[in-house]
Structure 1
């Protein structure tokens, strides 16, 4: 099988299991051979992001790696079968070409060229609001965070990436106290007119 040079410096067991699992996914839930490298990269990125959470006291490294990869595969399959993204519902391709216009003015155009990008992103759930509204929201949230006391500002920053349990473990602050601070944050954001975004 050989070790892939693209993954130099990464645990060889992780590379082997990811390559094996990606091959298994080809032919299932609408994945083709051309998706295999993307699947490998998606699983590898997820694993690399989670490796910092590995605790040798709880499991062997290979067991941890296998579980993370298995969970990522379950997430990929679930997303592939979810509502509007369900591969089984696809009846046309964005690469389909068709005549546009009439008579001498007609020309061939790909379906992809006539799709409104913002509408597409909204319909597929990649964005929840129009970009202009998201920009305004970002500004409003930044302004509300700047007005917070330092300890609540730090909590906001941590909540963006960590769970309450992780924050409690790292800081020694009881989870109940953190939840009380989150209630205060909600009240502050509601007072700032951001209730719809909470």
Structure 2
């Protein structure tokens, strides 16, 4: 079956727009952005036969599909970076706790590849943290401030004005945001 030109244009637009959106929101490198763009475009073209114009527009179909595929890409990218920075093998250590649970301790925040050892690294870390903070939305920035103020997660959760489930979901989102900028918490 030949590819519909409307679907083809929608696929190109959706892949480009989603790659740009994710790159600016999460600070992806140029290489990661290109990988995401190519992966989205290929996936959208492979799934062209699943599109039914009677059920919806090509733009809606490609937009929703690109959203789901982009989140999967970011999950895999984060998982790969976590493995590189925390593990020696392919799987996380079963006995290890999540090193990002120490996020509330500002002295524990370190660059992804190890401890700050000199002024040059500290300068780059400060720049990376400033960049991550500048890319946060208001909700993430408020949570980060709350964690800095209370210095421990349970008391920050109690002080927040949201349910504990919402608080910990937002904390997970904040951790992912910081991971995307190469920042992790010390174990």
**TM-score (normalised: structure 2):** 0.38
Structure with more relative contact order (C-alpha pairs < 8 Å, separation 6 or more): 2
**TM-score (normalised: structure 1):** 0.36
